[in-house]
Amino acid sequence: MTEASSPLIGVRRMGCAAAAMAAAVAATLLGTGVAGAVPPPAGLDEVLFVGNNWEGTADVIESTGGYAKLGRVNIIPDKEERLREIYLNPIKLGFFLGIRETAGEGHDQFVDDMYTTPDGSAVVASRPSFADVVSIDLVSGKVNWRFPVSGFRADHMAVSPDGGRVAVSASTSNTVHVLDIRTGAQVGSFRTGDKPHENVFTDGGRYLWNMSIGEVNTPLDAPSQDSTKGDRRITVVDAQTFQTVKVIDMRDRLDAFGRKDLSDSVRPVAFAPDESKLYFQVSFFNGFVEYDIASDTITRIKELPKNPNTNPDRTTWVNDSRHHGMSISPDGRKLCIAGTMDDYVTVVDTATLQETPTVPAGKPYWATVNGDGTHCIISESADDSVSAIDFATGQKVATVPVGDHPQRVRIGHVPDGWAGTPDGGTGTGSLEGALGSVGS
């Protein structure tokens, strides 16, 4: 990648110190960096939203300190209406049940990703099984707006640094939709590789990166069958015009580094604070890759310990993951790694790539940064809890019980004194209720 074509040219010209400051401000809204670097707007409290994927709720906890639980949001207040639509449409029903049996591990996926609006009045969430994005009012608990994505499944999201737009991956249509976070109106979209997954805004919101992971629900998981997984690539677009700026196929870069054995399916990622490096996880690998953006090359690969109790049969690993979830400390010196199928978390020094002793965790599925940047917050999906890991020591310092199968954790804001929505449960909708009301 030449300097003229680099999506990060603006950041590099600013200089490291200024770039780090800009990245910190952006990270406040992204929920991936120095969340506490900028005070929350007047009248709002900074919090952590924990998406309980199988339950359809989001628990809201303090972003720092003791991580006390503040309240709960029902993300599926319209469950009965959505189920009615699905069960009256054979095609939608087929995909709904397919999600349950594959990505959902026998469960429906009711909440994936979440971000709050700039004024803290609503939380915007993607709902995989309902193939949509909704805005939930944090006072009334009602749906403000709903955007059905193209295809049949909604996935990871990202919010722009100014908080005004949210990007969502429509994983079965190879499309990313970009929406006005206040109204739900689509402001743009672009095509991706197969099964778009992670999204990240960079350079102060000038560019949007999407990582497509390919087919992760087939049994063709042997290294020799990797080519069957589809078109996996990073697509970088101009966030205003949605025109493609660059396509990065990590297959060529991995081969050049001498790792033809690794999958090129880019999973969770973390940018260095100055956005000069990209750290990312790939399918089936217990470790991560370091990619230098200016030189367009892989510079280092870190293999992390294997849990001897992990089933070596790759077809048993959830959605082709071995490790799924990573975040970086505000100073860029530490990476927090969720060893999903290995049931641990560890902190890695980015200079030496030396990891701390692994800390047991129940199928950790995500990692983000807390409000003051001192802790990494992981979701322990097997134990229905979230835990705080000290970046300095790598030790677990707090654990908070949450709902069924927590996955994504994001920084957000709620009104001062907020204590949950009126219906903080999972709703009363059911298949029987949905079908029973059809003829009424």
What is the tens place of the pLDDT at every residue in 221-270?
Answer: 999 999 999 999 999 999 999 999 999 999 999 999 999 999 999 999 99
Angle, helix 90-101 to helix 79-87, in steps of 10 degrees: 110
DSSP letter, residue 114:
E
* DSSP run (H or E) holding 25: helix 16-30
* DSSP run (H or E) holding 230: none
CB 403 within 8 A of CB 30: no
Backbone angles phi and psi of 177, in degrees to 5: -100, 140
Please give the pLDDT value at position 382. Answer: 98
- 9 pLDDT higher than 90: no
pTM of the model: 0.90
- 188 pLDDT higher than 50: yes
Q: How far apart are CA 346 and CA 365, in angstroms?
A: 13
Please give the pLDDT value at position 41. Answer: 83
3-state secondary structure of 231: coil
The mean pLDDT value of the chain amounts to 90
- What's the first-to-final CA gap in the chain, in angstroms? 61
Nearest alpha-carbon partner for 350 in 336, 364, 366: 336
- 25 pLDDT higher than 80: no
Extract the runs of DSSP E, i.e. beta strands, from 24-66: 44-52, 57-62
pLDDT in tens, 312-345: 999 999 999 999 999 999 999 999 999 999 999 9
Radius of gyration from C-alpha coordinates of the chain: 20
What distances in angstroms separate CA 110 from CA 18, 75, 104, 113, 414, one per listed residue? 40, 8, 10, 10, 22
% of the chain beyond a pLDDT of 90 = 86
Q: How far apart are CA 51 and CA 136, in angstroms?
A: 13
CB 168 within 8 A of CB 176: yes
Q: How far apart are CA 295 and CA 3, in angstroms?
A: 9
Please give the pLDDT value at position 26. Answer: 37
pLDDT in tens, 79-104: 999 999 999 999 999 999 999 999 99
Superfamily of domain 3-415: YVTN repeat-like/Quinoprotein amine dehydrogenase (2.130.10.10)
Extract the runs of DSSP E, i.e. beta strands, from 163-203: 165-170, 175-180, 186-191, 196-202
